[in-house]
Amino acid sequence: MRIGMMDRRIIIQQNTATEPDADGEVIAVWETFATVWAYRKPLKGMEKPQSQQELATAEFMFRIRFRNDLDPIMRISYDGGFYDILAINEISRKHGTEIFVKLNVA
């Protein structure tokens, strides 16, 4: 893995719950888990009509240095968009981590 290709700064976020408010409601918020350098590779994209509007989806792969503390319930924030994690793969004996994500844009 060539470190020089990691030219994108991404934020990995995790969903955490706040303390219950006066009405007893717990609000989920996204907090920064880690900010790392990554390589971004587009995989596929498509548009399809859904209830009178076009829904565009795109899938990407982010490659980062090895981490073993990531979870698919996390998400990635990059360039103003939020990417849902589809899968996390270790690259060749802890050489790096590939994160497969999906970006939904209405």
Give residue-wise pLDDT tens across range 5-57. Answer: 899 999 999 998 777 777 878 788 899 999 999 999 999 766 556 556 656 67
Split into its structural domains, the chain has a count of 1
Q: Look up the pTM and report it.
A: 0.80
Range of the domain at 66: 3-105
Give residue-wise pLDDT tens across range 46-92. Answer: 655 655 665 667 899 999 999 999 999 999 999 999 999 999 999 98
DSSP track, 41-103: EEEEEEEEEETTEEEEEEEEEEEES--S---TT-EEEETTEEEEEEEEEEETTTTEEEEEEEE
Q: Which domain CATH number covers 22?
A: 2.40.10.270
